[in-house]
Amino acid sequence: MPAKPSEDLESIARSGGTLRRMAARVPTYLTDLRENPAWLPMFVLARTMPGRRAHWWTARKVSEAPLASGSMFGNINPRQAADELRTHGIFTGLNLPPEIHKEILKFGYETPCFGNFDRRNEFLASEHADAEKRFNRSIISGHHFERVLNCKAAVAVQQDPLLPAIARHYLGGEAKLITTRTWWSFPTMTATDADLSRASFKFHFDLDDWRMLKFFFYLNDVGSDAGPHVYVRGSHKRRRLKHQLTLVVGHPAEEVLAFYGKDQAITVTGAAGTGFVEDPFGFHMGTLAKREPRFMMEIGFGVSKPSQRRFHGEPVIRG
């Protein structure tokens, strides 16, 4: 592929060294800091187990009765879901009704997305191959940012009472909505084998808030070739010192699996509508889509003031 006009975050994330990857995130960090100075102590301390545990002690206890009805997910007991989250870091078994996931998928096809987090790369998912030629780069993701709010079905999921109920039981009474985003992960003909192996095996933990929970929903069928999500069970509550005293959140699979055990990594595949919720302080990753695209929705809860920009997954990039 010819030289790229300017690099985007996905390219840097795949091919850059540690320092370059961190440097690319500096504009986002500075924006977070200006928007909310309380972000800094979180960013420094929430990666350590003592810092995190101290914050968990402040969680407001929730005692209300389990949700009985009114959710599109049926009769899932939020307290039991929260208990399972505490044990494993992930709870599977959420399913979107067909009319909901079909409508969100339709939105995903009909609404232009932004390639590799960059608003300059706007295209329709069906035009992915053309877009790679037009923008002269491989494009592995396409986000809708705030456009997701134009999709009634996506907003209905965001507002379903089960989600905050689980979040409150797990995170405490302070739990609030902090993200809603939809994005495509595309297989790309131009990724090299090195790209594929690098992107596929980058376990990371999220550091956007002291205590977080993310609900993920697959909106098309996701098998092993469509970039399934991987989560390391138990990694939300135990962390080797090396992975606490580090500036970077991504670590090699060998290091992560050697500590937690290979059998603790679960790969979530499933038909359109499959949903799960996880504590994203646990190690997780989205693998690169090999043959099929994946269309995914995330609804996140945290305990701090949400960042308006990150609400839809948008980083700050240099022009």
Ligand X SMILES: O=C(O)CCC(=O)C(=O)O
Does residue 298 interact with ligand X by CB under 6 A?
yes
Question: Would you give the binding string for ligand X spanning residues 103-132, x where CB under 6 A is met?
Answer: ------------------------------
Query: Which run of H or of E encompasses 81?
Result: helix 78-88
Q: Between 146 and 298, whose beta carbon lies closer to ligand X?
A: 298
Output the smallest distance, CB 69 to ligand X, in A: 30
Q: Between 137 and 202, whose beta carbon lies closer to ligand X?
A: 202
Tell which positions 207-236 bind ligand X, by CB under 6 A.
Answer: 229
Residue number with the smallest Cβ distance to ligand X:
286
Q: Between 83 and 250, whose beta carbon lies closer to ligand X?
A: 250
Q: Between 46 and 285, whose beta carbon lies closer to ligand X?
A: 285
CA 59 to mean position of chain CA atoms: 23
Query: Which run of H or of E encompasses 52?
Result: helix 49-57
Q: Between 62 and 260, whose beta carbon lies closer to ligand X?
A: 260
**Calpha distance 209→84 (Å, rounded):** 21
Output the smallest distance, CB 273 to ligand X, in A: 16
Output the smallest distance, CB 70 to ligand X, in A: 27
Q: Between 62 and 256, whose beta carbon lies closer to ligand X?
A: 256
Output the smallest distance, CB 227 to ligand X, in A: 7
Tell which positions 266-285 bind ligand X, by CB under 6 A.
Answer: 280, 284-285
Neighbours of 57 (CB within 10 A): 6
Q: Between 123 and 231, whose beta carbon lies closer to ligand X?
A: 231
Are the C-beta atoms of 280 and 211 separated by less than 8 Å?
no
**Calpha distance 125→112 (Å, rounded):** 7
Output the smallest distance, CB 60 to ligand X, in A: 25
Nearest to 115 by CA among 250, 9, 226: 9
Output the smallest distance, CB 57 to ligand X, in A: 25
**Calpha distance 233→245 (Å, rounded):** 21
Are the C-beta atoms of 283 and 203 separated by less than 8 Å?
yes
Kindly state the tokens that stand for 306. Answer: 């949400």
**Calpha distance 293→268 (Å, rounded):** 15
Are the C-beta atoms of 314 and 145 separated by less than 8 Å?
yes
Tell how many helices (H) and how many strands (E) occur in the chain.
Answer: 12, 13
Output the smallest distance, CB 91 to ligand X, in A: 16
Which of 273, 275, 286, 306 is close enough to bind ligand X by CB under 6 A?
A: 286
Contacts with ligand X, residue ranges (CB under 6 A)? 206, 229, 280, 284-286, 298
